Amino acid sequence: STAKKFEVLFVLGGPGAGKGTLCRYITEKYGYVHLSAGDLLREEQTNLDSQYGELINRHIKEGTIVRVEITCSLLDRAMQMSDNPHKRFLIDGFPRNQDNIDGWNKVMSEKCIVKGVLFCDCSKEVCTERCLNRGAAGSGRTDDNEEVLAKRHETYITSTLPIIEHFEKQGAVYKVNSMQAPDKVFEEAKEILTEIGW
Ligand code: UP5
Ligand code: MG
């Protein structure tokens, strides 16, 4: 087809690294579309017509990764529904494991060009503290507590870091230091966006 393909930047990093926050800064300034896989799953969880509510709920509370058919169809639908003139998408918190990559490649590689991974680099301690603070402030997220955070971090180390390394080998990882204040993180990200032609 001659239609312009979607362009995608994956945004990855530990639980609480600041992926969502950075994406909101970028969206505000550039007008690209922010799609958080976690937000889409949490939304699906509250959709009474969905047959996956309970399954998603269990995964989120265990800090484990929902199978790709579910996540990818939510992303696909959100991308199709978007009328964004740029056709540029920040996909936040996905892909998190090899199953996610395989499923993405199967159904999305035809329609999308993946520009790379924007990697929010943040220590486990800072990540954990941010999520605990957010939980204490009433985020309502069932996974913002010490017990689930340990599991989220474990899943990040064992399943998601290898994915980041996989992209790294292709020279497709763009790292920002997300331990700085949000506007400083955004400044670093802007240079990366320029580098990839966004
Ligand atoms: N904050 C952010 N940036 C800051 C900064 N620079 N300085 C100071 N504070 C900063 O930020 C977290 C908190 O830190 C906020 O209070 C923020 O104000 C502050 P946020 O921007 O929300 O960070 P983010 O990296 O988005 O953290 P999040 O908790 O969303 O990350 P997770 O990756 O853990 O959560 P996600 O929603 O992506 O996934 C949740 C679960 O869904 C997963 O554990 C998994 O079970 C499931 N899931 C899947 O199964 N498949 C998927 O594809 C995606 C999710
Ligand atoms: Mg998030």
Query: Which numbered ligand comes closest to the C-alpha of 152?
Result: 1
89-115 per-residue burial string, b: 16 or more CB within 10 A, e: under 16 = bbbbbbbbbebbbebbeeebeeebebb
pTM of the model: 0.98
Residue 66 CA, closest ligand 1 atom number:
50
Give residue-wise pLDDT tens across range 24-75: 999 999 999 999 999 999 999 999 899 999 999 999 999 999 999 999 999 9
The residue whose C-alpha atom lies closest to atom 11 belonging to ligand 1 is 18
Q: Do 88 and 79 contact (CB within 8 A), yes or no?
A: no
ipTM of the predicted assembly exceeds 0.95? yes
Q: Do 11 and 93 contact (CB within 8 A), yes or no?
A: yes
Q: Which residues line ligand 1 (CB under 6 A)?
A: 13, 15-21, 36-38, 41, 59-60, 63-66, 71, 93-94, 96, 130-131, 134, 143, 152, 178, 181-182, 185
Interval between CA 30 and ligand 1 midpoint (Å): 21
- 3 band by pLDDT with thresholds 50, 70 and 90: confident
Interval between CA 63 and ligand 1 midpoint (Å): 12
Query: Torsion angle, CA of 72/73/75/79, rounded to 10 degrees?
Result: 130
Q: Do 107 and 38 contact (CB within 8 A), yes or no?
A: no
Question: Ligand 1 pocket test: which of 12, 21, 35 has the largest number of ligand atoms within 8 Å of its C-beta?
Answer: 21
Give residue-wise pLDDT tens across range 95-152: 999 999 999 999 999 999 999 999 999 999 999 999 999 999 999 999 999 999 999 9
Q: Do 192 and 116 contact (CB within 8 A), yes or no?
A: no
Q: In angstroms, rounded to a whole number, what is the distance separating the alpha carbons of residues 52 and 91? A: 21
